[in-house]
A and B are shown apart, each in its own frame.
Chain A
Amino acid sequence: MNIVVLVKQVPDSGSERTLDSSDNTVARASADNVINEMDEYAIEEALQVKEAHGGEVTILTMGPDSATDTIRKALSMGADKAIHVTDPALHGSCVIATSAVLAKALGTIEWDLVLSGAQSTDGGLTMMPALLAERLGVAHLSGARKLTVDGSKLTVERQTDGGYWTIEGQTPAIVSTWDTMNEPRYPSFKGIMAAKNKPVTTLSLADLGVDASEVGLGAATSTVLEFANRPPKGEGEQVKDEGDGAAKLADFLASKKFV
């Protein structure tokens, strides 16, 4: 089973993040950029499916040159090879245009299964796998907390608010993963060394046959008009519990009409 894992480089969600005031896009240059944490679950699942059923695991990412760090991280976990879609004209592309480009990139290789993380921790739109499934006309099994592969039949436990749904589909398919699905492995020293020599194919818009006028900030289907950092919260009240903390808290809740 040949598997593609969608991977994105994002600003570290544990550090301060903002937008670039020159064009209102995500400030990547000033950020500490890392692999989107949610994608590690998809990579782990891909490696487990490969270990059980054979095949190859390919990492697909779109992003600036700096995204090579993220690709190496994914390869060091055990993926076999990678495709890096990169082109200066892609800067500022909206989710719709990005999905068009990734769909083209998926057309350059043979695959049975595409795995993605639950969401990116920067944009957090959660919809890339659905967009790709719509464009490619393949099944999308989403919110997978468990995936079972039986030949071309896929069965997924889809996490819901109150429990889970059991859903089924056939390959070729896209499965988006949930972060309770597995425990992503740490790259081994051997894996880190091996990653340096694994093949990474770089594709430009011209390689994919996409016109630069269809992507980028100018062609975006949605626009950020302005942004502001949330004002810091006013100083709250703090009390030290001296046996009366619970009563004071109850008084506060009562003053706000919660009790």
Chain B
Amino acid sequence: MSEVLVLVETVADGDGVALKKVTLEMLTAARALGEPSAVVAGAVGTAAAVKERVAEYGAAKIYVAESDDIDNHLVAPKAEVLAKLVADTSAAAVILPSTQEGKEVAGRLAIKIGSGLLTDISEVNSDGTATQVVFAGAVIVKSKVAKGTPIYTVRPNSVAPQPQPAAGEEVPVDIAISDDAKRVTVVGRTLEASGGRPELTEASIIVSGGRGVGSAENFALIEGLADSLGGAVGASRAATDSGFYPHQYQVGQTGKTVSPQLYVAVGISGAIQHRAGMQTSKTIVAINKDNEAPIFELADFGVVGDLFQIVPVLTEEITKRKA
């Protein structure tokens, strides 16, 4: 069976790194096309941190490219590693995460190996066709790569990860990163407080607040509800533009696209701008005082009422039931 290369995505975790869930989703999706191989390209020690889990989710081989040259330079070294592996292994396809970095690596790789690519896919089939959700979830498209070794980027939270234990044989990749790929140097990595909550695009539960929340102080209500559910906090553009919550938590057309199991919209009217970022969520719940708010068209369960009355009681109720 032919190999499918899957670029492992990690996130900083204390002094080391942790696997991002999307990696397991990609390893699961890859099985439709062939035998998944995980590709680790990063700092020394990355493979050691992730190898058990990627093997548990189907990686027969783990290609390991670890060096300071890869870790200290943005994006381009990873594309070089993948291009070499595509040539060495005659891979059937390459799968990357549909994240900012994943898409940049995919683009560079496509130029290097002369391939076409599909981004933001939610499903890939054994015939190579893939499903993409476009125009803010309004249109579902079936597409195919028409040239070269197909490259796909998978939207996080689209595929349910399924374990499938495999050998996870480590294969070192012998590569010297070219000067061309060292044009951008990473000189610092700064973490900003997230209150210990899950990362927005990876979270299974998201509670978002909008204009109706009214102030930055009141966002404590949204955080409290999110914490009771073990979820992440998001915000509509109206809320971030008003300074209620930091911009990086914005869900919408110009912010993050999310697809959690549960999305709770609080005080959000549901303008297209916002729906664009969340309407592929599996279950949607809305609390809004206006029963005509467009968010209710998407909601599986909606409560018309005052969020300041409802949210504190709901948080307490959930905490009580979970206890």
Say whether B138 contacts A224, CB under 8 Å: no
Contact residue among B120, B191, B271, B305 (Cβ-Cβ distance under 8 Å from A163) = B191
Q: Specify which of B107, B135, B190 is in contact with A165 (CB 8 Å cutoff).
A: B190
The verdict on A148 contacting chain B, using a C-beta distance below 8 Å, is no
Query: What's the minimum C-beta distance from B248 to chain A, rounded to whole angstroms?
Result: 6
Assuming the contacts A94-B116, A169-B184, A246-B310, asked whether A230 and B140 have C-beta atoms less than 8 A apart, the reply is yes
CB of B143 within 8 A of CB of A224, answer yes
Residues of A within 8 A of B321 (CB): 250, 254, 259
Answer yes or no: A236 CB below 8 A from chain B CBs: yes
Q: Mark B109-136, 1 if CB is under 8 A from A, else 0.
A: 0111001111110000000010001111
Chain A residue numbers with a CB within 8 Å of B318 are: 250, 253, 259
**Measured between C-beta atoms, what is the minimum distance from B53 to chain A in Å?**
20
Q: Report the stretch among A45-53, A72-80, A130-138 that lies at the interface.
A: A130-138
Closest Cβ–Cβ distance, residue A85 to chain B (whole Å): 19
Cα distance, A94 to B200, chains bound together (Å)? 30
What chain A residues lie within 8 Å of B139 (beta carbons)?
Answer: 17-19, 227-230
**Residues of the A chain whose Cβ atoms lie less than 8 Å from the Cβ of B304:** 238-241, 245
Closest to A118 in B: B254
A179 close to B191 (CB less than 8 A): no
The residues of A that contact B99 with a CB separation of less than 8 Å are 161
Q: What CA separation (Å) do A23 and B310 show in the bound complex?
A: 49
Residue contact A13 to B276, C-beta cutoff 8 Å = yes
Quick one: which of B100, B134, B302, B317 contacts A236, CB cutoff 8 A?
B302
Residues A164 and B192 in contact, CB atoms below 8 Å apart: yes
- A133: chain B residues at CB < 8 Å are 76, 108
Q: Is the CB–CB distance between A13 and B185 below 8 Å?
A: no
Mark contacts of A108-121 with chain B using CB atoms, 8 A cut-off: 1 yes-contact digit, 0 otherwise. 00000000001001
Interchain CB contact (< 8 A) of B141 among A19, A125, A126, A168: A19
Distance of A134 from chain B, by nearest CB (Å) = 4
Contact B186 A165 (CB under 8 A): yes
Residues in A with CB closer than 8 Å to B84 are: none
> Once the chains are docked, how many angstroms separate the CA of A143 from the CA of B104?
11
User: What chain A residues lie within 8 Å of B141 (beta carbons)?
Assistant: 19, 24, 224, 226-227
- Complex Cα gap A222–B151 (Å): 10
CA gap between A137 and B129 in the complex, in Å: 32
- A134 pairs with B107, CB closer than 8 A: yes
Q: Are A126 and B112 in contact (CB under 8 A)?
A: no
Task: Indicate with 1 or 0, residue by residue over A142-176, a CB within 8 angstroms of chain B CB atoms.
Answer: 11000000000000001111111111111001000
The majority secondary structure among interface residues of chain B is mixed
**Chain B, interface residues (CB within 8 Å), range:** 35 or more
Q: Are A170 and B140 in contact (CB under 8 A)?
A: no
B294 to chain A, nearest CB (A): 12
Contact check, A140 vs B146: say whether CB atoms are below 8 A apart.
no
Asked if B103 CB lies within 8 Å of chain A CBs, one says yes
Q: Which single residue of chain A is at the shortest CB-CB distance from B79?
A: A134
B317 pairs with A247, CB closer than 8 A? yes
B192, A256: Cβ atoms under 8 Å?
no
CB contact list, B152-205 vs A, under 8 A: 180, 183-192, 194, 199-201, 205
Of B106, B138, B310, the contact of A249 (CB 8 Å cutoff):
B310
Q: Look across to chain B and name the residue whose beta carbon is closest to the beta carbon of A166.
A: B188
Total residues of chain A contacting the partner, CB 8 A:
81
Minimum distance in angstroms from B118 CB to a CB of chain A: 6
Q: Contacts of B48 on A, CB cut-off 8 Å? A: none
Q: Given A17-B138, A164-B192, A167-B185, answer yes or no on A131-B108 (Cβ-Cβ < 8 Å).
A: yes
Contact A14 B273 (CB under 8 A): yes
Measured CB to CB, the nearest residue on chain A to B189 is: A165
Q: Select A96's contact among B12, B110, B120, B310, beta carbons within 8 Å.
A: B110
How far apart sit A143 and B101, CA to CA, in the bound complex (Å)? 9
**Closest residue of B by beta carbon distance from A231:** B140
A196 at interface, CB cutoff 8 A: no
Q: Could you list some 15 contacts between A and B, CB below 8 A? A: A96-B111, A121-B253, A123-B134, A127-B107, A140-B74, A142-B75, A162-B12, A166-B186, A232-B297, A239-B303, A240-B304, A241-B309, A246-B309, A253-B262, A258-B229
Q: List chain B positions with a Cβ less than 8 A from chain A.
A: 11-12, 74-76, 79, 99-100, 103-108, 110-112, 115-120, 129, 133-148, 180, 183-192, 194, 199-201, 205, 229, 247-248, 253-254, 261-262, 271-273, 276, 283-285, 287, 291, 296-306, 309-311, 313-314, 317-318, 321-322
Pairs of residues from A and B, 7 with the lowest C-beta to C-beta distance, nearest first: A241-B305, A221-B116, A127-B107, A246-B313, A166-B188, A139-B183, A163-B192
Known A225-B142, A225-B144; further 13 A-B contacts with Cβ < 8 A = A14-B273, A24-B141, A134-B76, A161-B99, A168-B184, A169-B183, A228-B140, A233-B300, A240-B305, A245-B305, A246-B310, A258-B262, A258-B283
